[in-house]
Structure 1
Amino acid sequence: MNISAMIKLTISMAIFGSIGFFTINTGVPAVELVFVRCICATLFLSGMWYLTGGHKIEKWNKNEILRTFLCGIFLVLNWVFLFKAFEEMSISIAISIYNLAPIFVLILGTLFLREKMTVSGVLATVICFIGSIFIVGIENFQSVDQLLNSGFLWAILSAICYALTMFTSKTIHGLSPYATTFLQTIVGIVMLLPFSNFEVFMDLTTTNWLFILGTGIIHTGFVYYLFFDSIRSLPTLIISVLVFVDPVVAILLDTILLDFRPTLLQSLGIILIFAGIVFTVFKPAKKSTLNVEEKEVVS
C-alpha cells in the first residue's frame, strides 16, 4: 500500500471539504469565481512545475493531451454547477447530491462500456434517487420552477460532471499531475473568459479576496495536484473510501460554523444517499478485489 499517496488523497479531500464554506464567503458568483480559481491554479502549478524541473522531462502525447482537455471541460463545468448549487441550497445538501457521482459512474459504465447493470446497482440508484427527493424536499418537485429554484438541478449537473471527470481522468497515465492540472485550468480560463463579468470584483473586501485566493491557490492548485498525483498510485477501493472525507468535513463545517440543522426527512435523505453510494462502491470493489486475488493465485 502506498502510504504517501493515501496521505495526499486524505489531505486533498479534507481541504476540499471546506470549499463550500470558502465559496459562500467570496461574494463572487459561480462563473467568475471558477475563472479566478483557474487563473490562480495555473500560476501556482506552472510555478511549481518550473521549480521542480518537471517541465524539462515531461512526455507529451497527443491523445492524452486531448483526453486531458476533455477532462478539463468536465472539471470546470463541475465547479461551476457546484458553486451554483451552493448559491441556492445549504452546503450539506449540495455536497450530499454532489457525491452521487459514483452512481453516475456506474450508469456511464453501463451506457458506454457495455457493463451490465446489476440488481444491486439498480437498487442503489433507486435508493439514492429517493434520498435526493427527501433531501431537497418533496414540495420542490411539484413544478419545474420550484425544482430549478431549489438548486437541485445544479447539484445533479455537478455530480454528473464530477463522474465524467473521474471517468476520463483514469485514462490519463503519461502526463504528470502538474501537466494534467495545468492543462485543465488553462481550458477553464479559455472557456469562462467570454462569460465572466468583471464588475463583480468591484468593492470586494479584503476578507472576500482572501477567500477567493484561498479557493484558487489552495482548493484548486494544491488540492488538485495532490488528488491527481495520488489516485494513480491507489486501488479503486481505497480511493472510494477516502473520497468520503470530503462530504464529512463539508457537513461538519456546515453544521458547526453555519448552523445548518437538517429536518428529519433531510437527515433520512442524507443517510439514504450515502447508504446507496457505499453499497455501490464497496460491493463491486470487493468482488473486483477477490477476482484479482484469484488470478494471482492461479498465476
Structure 2
Amino acid sequence: MNISAIIKLTVSMALFGSIGFFTVHTGVPATELVFIRCICATLFLGGLWLITGGHKTEIWDKKEIVRTLICGVFIVLNWVFLFKAFEEMSISIAISIYNLAPIFVLIFGALFLKEKMTIQALLATITCFIGSMFIIGLNNFLSLSEFMKSGFIWALLSAIFYAFTMLTSKTITKLSSYALTYIQTAVGIIILLPFIDFSLFDGLTTTNWLYILGTGFIHTGFVYYLFFDSIRSLSTILVSVLVFVDPVVAILLDMLLLDFIPSLMQTMGILLIFGGIFYTIYVPKKKRVSHTST
C-alpha cells in the first residue's frame, strides 16, 4: 500500500471539496472561471516543472501525449459542467450527482473495456439513479423545462466526463504529473479562448479575485498535481473510495457556511447515491477478500 499516494489523494479530495464554496464567491460564469483556472494552473505547474528540472527527464511517448490531450478535453468539460451545475443548484446536490462518476467508471468499463458487469453493480446503478431523481425532485422530471433548469443535466455531464478523466489518466504512466497536468490545462486555455467574454471581468472586487485565484492555483494547480501524482499508484477501488472525502467536505461546508438544509427527499437521495456507490466499491471487495482468505 502506497501511503504517500493515499495521503496525496486524500488531501487533494479534501481541498477539492471546498471548490463549490469558492466558486459561488468568484462572481464569474463557469466558462470564464475555468479559463482563469487553466491559466493559473499552467503557470503554477509549468513553474514547478522547470524548477524541479522535470522537463529535462520527461519520457515523451506519442500515444501517451495523444491520450493526455484527449484527457485534457475531458477534464475541461468536466469543470465547465460542474460549475454550471453550481449555478443552478446547491453545492451539496451538485456534488452528490457529480460523485456518480465511480458508477460511470464501472458502466464504461463494461461497455468499452469488456469488463463484467455484476448484479451488485447493476443494482447499485439503479439505486443511484433513483437517488438522483429524489435529489432533483420527482416533479421536475414531469416538465422538460423544469428538468433542464434544475441543473441535473450539467451535474450528470460533469460526472460522466470525470469518469472519462479517471479512466483515461490511468492509462498514462510515463509522463510526470507536472507534464500531464500542464498539457491538460494548456489544452483548456486553447479550447476555451474563443468562448470567453472578457468584459465579465470588469468590476470584480478584490475578494472576487482572491476566490478566482484560489480556484486556479489551489484547486486546479496544486490539487490536480496531487491527484494525478497519486492516482497512478493506487488501485481503481482505492481511488473510488478516497474520492468520498470530496463530497463529505463539500456538503459540510455547504451546510455550515452557506446554510444549505436538504429536504427529506433530498436527504434520502443523497443516502441512496452514496450507499449505492459504497456498496459497489467496498462491499463486493470485502466479500472477495473474505472468500479468498477462507
Which range, TM-score by smaller chain? Answer: over 0.9
Distance in 1 separating the partners of 2:194 and 2:287: 47
CA drift at 1:239:
1.8
Question: Number of aligned pairs?
Answer: 293
Q: TM-score, normalised by structure 2?
A: 0.97
**Which residue of structure 2 lines up, in the alignment, with residue 297 of structure 1?**
none
Deviates more, 1:280-289 or 1:62-71: 280-289
Separation in 1 of the partners of 2:283 and 2:245? 19
Q: Which runs of 5+ in 2 are unaligned?
A: none
TM-score scaled to structure 1, two decimals?
0.95
Shift of 1:53: 0.6
Q: Over residues 38-80 of structure 1, what are the superposed CA-to-partner deviations in whole Å (9 max), with x where a residue is unaligned? A: 0000000000000001001011000000000111111000000
Q: Distance in 2 between matches of 1:80 and 1:149?
A: 16
Letter in 1 for 2:44: F
Q: Secondary structure at the match of 1:191?
A: helix
Give the Å deviation of 1:287: 6.3
Show the counterpart of 1:183: 183
* Alignment-mate amino acid for residue 37 of structure 1: R
Deviation at 1:235, TM superposition (A): 2.6
SS at match of 2:282: helix
RMSD: 1.4
Worse-matched range after superposition: 2-11 or 50-59: 2-11
Q: Which runs of 5+ in 1 are unaligned?
A: 295-299
Please tell me whether residue 7 in structure 1 is matched to residue 7 in structure 2: yes
Per-residue deviation, 1:2: 1.8
Aligned ranges 1:195-214 → 2 under 5 Å: 195-214=195-214
Following the alignment from structure 1 to structure 2, what is the Cα–Cα distance between the partners of residues 176 and 255? 37
Per the TM alignment, residue 116 of structure 1 is displaced from its structure 2 partner at its CA by 2.5
Q: In the TM superposition, what are the counterparts of 1:103-118 in structure 2 within 5 Å?
A: 103-118=103-118
Structure 1 residues 171, 288: closer, same or farther in 2, change over 3 A? Answer: farther
- Percent of aligned pairs with the same residue? 70
In structure 2, the partner of 1:134 is: 134
Match of 2:169 in 1: 169
Spell out the pairing of 1:22-41 with structure 2 (5 A cutoff).
22-41=22-41
Indicate yes or no: 2:47 matched with 1:47. yes
How far the C-alpha of 1:290 sits from its partner, in A, is 7.4
Q: For the structure 1 residues 114 and 9, does the alpha-carbon distance in structure 2 shift closer, same or farther, using more than 3 Å as the test?
A: same
Change (3 A) 1:183 1:61: same
Counterpart Cα distance in 2 of 1:175 and 1:290? 37
In 2, Cα distance between the equivalents of 1:208 and 1:282?
A: 40
